Amino acid sequence: MIVVLAGGVGAARFLQGLVQVVPQERLTVIVNTGDDRDFYGLHVSPDLDIVMYTLAGVVDETHGWGIHNDTYNTMQQLTRYGNENWFMLGDCDLATHIHRTNLLRQGKTLSEVTEELCKRFSLEMRILPMSDQPVATHIQTPAGLLHFQEYMVKRRCADEVQDVVFVGANESRPAPGVLDAIKEAEAILIAPSNPIVSIGSILAVPGIHDMLHETSGMVIAVSPIVGGAPIKGPADKLMRGLGMEVSAVGVARCYRDFLDVMVIDEQDKHLLSEIENLGIPAVTTNTIMRDDAGRIALSHAVLEVAGLE
Amino acid sequence: MIVVLAGGVGAARFLQGLVQVVPQERLTVIVNTGDDRDFYGLHVSPDLDIVMYTLAGVVDETHGWGIHNDTYNTMQQLTRYGNENWFMLGDCDLATHIHRTNLLRQGKTLSEVTEELCKRFSLEMRILPMSDQPVATHIQTPAGLLHFQEYMVKRRCADEVQDVVFVGANESRPAPGVLDAIKEAEAILIAPSNPIVSIGSILAVPGIHDMLHETSGMVIAVSPIVGGAPIKGPADKLMRGLGMEVSAVGVARCYRDFLDVMVIDEQDKHLLSEIENLGIPAVTTNTIMRDDAGRIALSHAVLEVAGLE
């Protein structure tokens, strides 16, 4: 079994390659839910949906989120009713949030709802939320403590980052199957996701960090920072705000307690020795995934590192 | 002040005429909520929406319900997730149900939500749900006790009607303002709506029937049955199932406890004496409302009966 720790778009693109190289049944994906938020009373799980939609082949490839060719009629009408509209939710996409919210209100857990949605999308890998309890990533800024979506989407990452807080994390538990999957995996791959808010939130769920340390499976991370900048998203602002170096070295430091191998981009090969000085072996490959061939090549490279190819 | 007791399409068309004859601020519309039902965990109030959409000029005129030019993308996706799809909810329409449900979950009453929606639609009459408590109209059939929407929409009125039950009515109270509006009205107009499930449910809310009896305002009903058949909907099946005569006489008998004048269609003038034998004065006019001129003419005729023109 192979476990992947996943955020949103970067992880989904990595997984698009991985499923072409490894049978889906061998994969367990543990997904960040720190970005989850209610909109209009509906439970939205952005990263779960990005991963699901991408692997189901229905994602809007341009945005990396949402469903392709979606319309925005419901949201336009909600706006006429005085609701905020800074978080774009298409009509087909809203069906997911309506369905999920309905099942949650009926007493199902987020894990159960996710399993049910995956079945509907004919996905054969196991996709687990990091926790069935709410964990809400917040960014401490001079303007106050902002929910991550408010910081990123509404205010477009304009606020200075002073701290990152995972509200509810201490009271949360790993979703059923998460710890066992990490414990029993041959390899645990940390996708090229934001190390602070995508992977950091997963690590904030009590028990997961320790299990990554304890597992005999090889823990391999792919750096989402290439040439000193993130491929996508605000990882640079968050890392800088927390006083971290915005580089593959900075990412390696986030994972140093449990990381076995760091995979970095070829253009960062000058950082190899610095990472190895942390006691973490590092390898270089092309990590940018410009196209499907690039995604497949990255998966082959990572599996080779894991000794699985 | 004029009060109108209203169901869905028939009432909405009647009101379309009335608002062209009477200033909106003089109108209080008390709307049936016995047809309300949750779909996908969202609170749908069909008659409130039909009345609001119609008066706001956004209704789908062909159906008489829903919003014109609406799309059905959310529902199609919900169907892919295994949900039932027998109750058509368009994307714009769903915004109403999402918004309403969100406000209800935040603790607002259905009256408050309705007032807020009316403001958004720039409606100046007062639209009140009959009650803020749930009342669910059910039809007793050989196949069991069916929610009215299930009887009508899902099973297309195919089941034999044995009884009509307003679940929750005994525990319900008239929404704030309902009793006072009836008490203080110069006239209370019973729209040409289904006397069993649209008006009957309103009458089942404790206090409303008695206040119609007590008020000094003139109570005038327009028969929805013309020539022995309803203009729209299953009133005939329901009346017949309950052993009532499917005619303007049958309708007059439903309201005889408090009715001051019955307005019936010209083609039913042979029924005048039978209605008057019940002790109810009756007048004839053209009640069919084929077009806007017909709707306006009907309003004038009814207001004349009320002594308000």
The whole-number average pLDDT for the span A165-181 is 98
Tell me what pLDDT residue B82 has.
97
* Residues B220-271 pLDDT 10s: 999 999 999 998 899 999 999 999 999 999 999 999 999 999 999 999 999 9
> pLDDT at position A309, please?
86
Contact B98 A67 (CB under 8 A): no
Residue B51 CB-half CA count within 13 A: 34
Q: Is the ipTM value over 0.90, yes or no?
A: yes
CA distances from B299 to B10, B15, B128, B188, B292 (A): 13, 8, 21, 13, 11
Question: Residue A96 has what pLDDT?
Answer: 98
- The C-alpha atoms of residue A110 and residue A112 are separated, in whole angstroms, by 5
- pLDDT attached to residue A106: 97
What is the per-residue pLDDT for A214? Answer: 98
Q: How far is B292 from chain A (nearest CA, A)?
A: 27
Residue type, A178: V
Q: Which of B35, B172, B49 is nearest to B118 (CA)?
A: B49
Give the DSSP H or E segment for A220: strand A218-222
Query: Going along chain B, which residue ranges are E strands?
Result: 2-6, 27-31, 37-39, 42-44, 126-129, 136-141, 144-147, 163-167, 187-190, 218-222, 225-226, 229-230, 261-265, 282-285
DSSP output for A127-138: EEESBSS--EEE
The predicted-structure confidence for B24-61, as pLDDT tens digits, reads as follows: 999 999 999 999 999 999 999 999 999 999 999 999 99
Q: What architecture is domain B1-309?
A: 3-Layer(aba) Sandwich (3.40)
CB-count burial class (<10 Å; 0-12, 13-18, 19+) for A25? exposed
**Which option is the CATH number for A171-305: 3.40.50.1220, 3.40.50.1820, 3.50.50.60, 3.40.50.10680?**
3.40.50.10680
| Nearest CB neighbour to B91, from listed A42, A74, A102 | A74
The verdict on A70 touching B (C-beta cutoff 8 Å) is yes
For the segment A75-99, the average pLDDT, to the nearest whole number, is 97
The radius of gyration of chain A's CA atoms, rounded to the nearest angstrom, is: 18
Distance CA B51, CA A58 (A): 38
Instruction: Name the residue in chain B with its Cα closest to that of A82.
Output: B120
Give the integer Cα–Cα distance in Å for A228 and A231: 10
Q: Which residues of chain B fall below pLDDT 50?
A: none
Average pLDDT over residues A274-296: 96
Nearest CA in chain A to B94: A74
Residue B44 bridge partners (DSSP): B37
Do residues B178 and B130 lie in contact, with contact meaning Cβ atoms separated by under 8 Å? yes
At B232 the pLDDT is: 87
Q: Where along chain A do its domains lie?
A: 171-305
Q: Does A122 touch chain B (CB under 8 A)?
A: no
CA distance A259 to A252: 8
Beta-bridge mates of residue B27: B2
**Residue B94: which of A74, A90, A101 has the nearest Cβ?**
A74
Q: Which residue from B minimizes the CA distance to A70?
A: B73
> Residue A2's pLDDT band (boundaries 50, 70, 90)?
very high
Q: At A109, is the pLDDT very low, low, confident or very high (cuts 50, 70, 90)? A: very high
What burial letters (b/e) apply to B84-101, b meaning 16+ CB within 10 Å? eeebebbbbbbbbbbbbb
Mutate to test the interface with B, among A76, A77, A84, A102 (most CBs of B within 10 A): A77
- Per the CB < 8 Å rule, is B71 touching A73? yes
Q: What is the pLDDT of residue A232?
A: 87
From the candidates A91, A106, A112, which should be mutated to test the interface with B, based on the most B CB atoms within 10 A? A91
Mean pLDDT across A223-241: 94
Angle at the Cα of B42 (from B3 to A80), degrees rounded to 5? 70
Contact: B99, A117; criterion CB under 8 Å: no
Q: How far is CA A170 from CA A134, A165, A173, A195, in A?
A: 10, 11, 8, 19
Which of B70, B92, B99 shows the shortest C-beta gap to A40?
B99
pLDDT of residue A150 exceeding 90: yes
Average pLDDT over chain A reads: 97
- Any idea what the Cα angle at residue B132 is, between residues B97 and B234, rounded to 5°? 70
